[in-house]
Amino acid sequence: MIIGKIKNNEKRIKFNLEIKCSNCKTEVPGGMQTSEQYYGSESFLKEIEKFKKNYLCGKCRDKKRIKQKNKKRN
Ligand SMILES: [Zn+2]
């Protein structure tokens, strides 16, 4: 998963983030990438925080998708 935007000519930093699904609390190994310049910056940290708060594992994401579909149908 990529945090921020990485331009083609920018160096990438790979890092691991401990992520928990915000719904079922399952721990998910997060192999993340960001640009060297962005890594550790204030907006980077904010984005990580937001990402963690909103993260859903695959299962929960599917459930949400199905729910939204049903909503439209009704
Ligand atoms: Zn989940």
Give residue-wise pLDDT tens across range 32-66.
999 999 999 999 999 999 999 999 999 999 999 99
What is residue 68's three-state secondary structure?
helix
CA 34 / ligand 1 centre spacing (Å) = 24
Please give the pLDDT value at position 30: 86
Ligand 1 centre to CA of 12 (Å) is 28
Compute the distance from residue 58 Cα to the ligand 1 centre, in Å: 7
Q: Where are the domains of the chain?
A: 12-73
What's residue 74's pLDDT? Answer: 63
For residues 2-12, give the mean pLDDT: 94
The 3-state DSSP class for residue 9 equals: coil
Distance, CA of 14 to CA of 30 (rounded, Å): 10
Rounded Cα distance, 28 and 23, in Å: 12
* Cα-based angle 66, 24, 51 (whole degrees, multiple of 5): 85
Q: What is the CA(55)–ligand 1 centre distance, in A?
A: 8
Q: How confident is the model at residue 72 (pLDDT cuts 50, 70, 90)?
A: confident
